[in-house]
Every structure is written in structure tokens, then in C-alpha cells.
A and B are shown apart, each in its own frame.
Chain A
């Protein structure tokens, strides 16, 4: 697993833990009400699990397992994907900060959009058919 995928997947595991923690607080509030204000955390719960966990995990695993190039950098322009990683996580944290400053939500979403577009551009050419050589081994 390349280093960048390690960062993506470990970050996704942190968001998984954080998102589940918030979900548990919300569900417990439904069962035995203890503090109604906990519902302000609902958008953060959604953000952490859908973007922080599921989307980020998919991006990390995609960077790891998509077909590599035979010549040049095997996974294409890695700097671009690092940029996508940084923008995605900045976007998640900014979007989550909407619980304090409402206008940070669209700013965070814009970071997430920029991240995903960068990731798609950086990965586009890696979505390609596998070519087998005469001995049945993969040729790039």
C-alpha cells in the first residue's frame, strides 16, 4: 500500500471512529434524553461518515489498487493526489465547523469539490484495461 493510501485510509478510520461517537451520542439522546443541544452535532455526524469515512476510504483504496503505469510514475502525478487529500480533509473540517460559523459550510464544500475534481483528473488515465503479455503477465 503506498504512503498516500495509508494517509487516506488512516484518516478515514479516524473519521469512522469520530462519526460513530457522534452517532452514539445522538441515538442515546433519542433513547434517554440528556441534552437537546447535542442535535447541533448532526451535520458533523453526517459529514464525518459520508465524506470523512466512506468517500475518503474509497479514494485511498482507489489510489492503491487502480492499474499502474509501466513508464514514469506508476501512479501518475502523485502530488495532485496529495493535494486532493489535503483539500478533502480541510474541506471536512471546515464543513464541520459550520456548527460555530454557518458560512464555513459552503467554503468547506468548495474545498471538497476541488479535492474530488483534482482526484478524478489525477486518476482518470489509470482507469484502463489490463494488457497481458505472451506469458500471461500484466504489461502496462
Chain B
């Protein structure tokens, strides 16, 4: 298993754990009537769908999909690392910026979210570009 895949999968596990912790907080919200927890919901969803499921797929695709060529079996390793960095930095910025923007909107938190949006989009695009030509008939 390539090093990058290990990073993707282990980070996906961490996101799974964090997502479930966010789920516990959401459960407490409805039980204890904590309205300020509403900001946690989008983070909960994105930790599970983006940080866990999509990131796990990214790692396994990088590892197991048909080889691009003999010289570059996984096409661009550098682009793969960019995907990893952008995905997780974007998710982290979102996890910080979204509750702040929801509870105390301000310009800095707002631009943190814009930066996070751009990073997550870039992660999706770099992954799609790097994987596209590896999706091929044998």
C-alpha cells in the first residue's frame, strides 16, 4: 500500500471518529436543548461524507485502480499529495470557520470559509484529473 494511501485511509478513520463525536454533540443538542449546537450539523455531515467516505475512496483509488503507465503507475504522486493536503486543510478550515461564522459572524471567519470552499473544490478537481486516465479498460 503506497504511503499516500496510508495517509488518506488513516486520516479518513480520524474523520470517522470526529464525525461520530459531532453526532454525539448533536444528540446532546436535542436532549439538552442547546441551540448553539446547530452549527455542528454541517460539520457532522461533511466529516462523514467528505472526510470519511470520499477520502477513503480517494486513498483506495490511488492504490488499486489500473496503472497509468509502467513509469508512472499512479500518474502524478505530487498531485495526489496536493489532493490530500487541500482536502484536509479545507475540511479543517471549515470545521473552525463554520461554527464561528454561524454564532458570531465576522469578516475573518467569512473569508476562512471562502478559502475552505476553494481548497475543497481544488481537492475534488485534482483527484478527478489524476484519476481520470487511470479509469480505463484492460
Name A's B-contacting residues (CB within 8 A).
1-3, 5-6, 9-10, 13-14, 16-17, 19-21, 23-28, 30-32, 49-50, 53-54, 57
Task: Give the interface SS of chain A, mostly helix, strand, loop or mixed.
Answer: helix
- Chain A residue contacts of B117, Cβ below 8 A: 23-28, 31
Name B's A-contacting residues (CB within 8 A).
49, 53-54, 57, 65-66, 94, 97-98, 101, 109-114, 116-118, 120-121, 123-125, 127-128, 131-132, 135-138
Are A16 and B124 neighbours in the complex by a CB distance under 8 Å? yes
- Chain A residue contacts of B132, Cβ below 8 A: 10, 13
- Chain B residue contacts of A9, Cβ below 8 A: 135
Whole-angstrom CA separation of A6 from B135 in the bound complex: 6
Given A10-B132, A16-B128, A31-B111, also A24-B101 (CB < 8 A): no
- Chain A residue contacts of B136, Cβ below 8 A: 1, 6
Chain A: which residue is nearest B45 at the CB level?
A: A46
Are B114 and A31 neighbours in the complex by a CB distance under 8 Å? yes
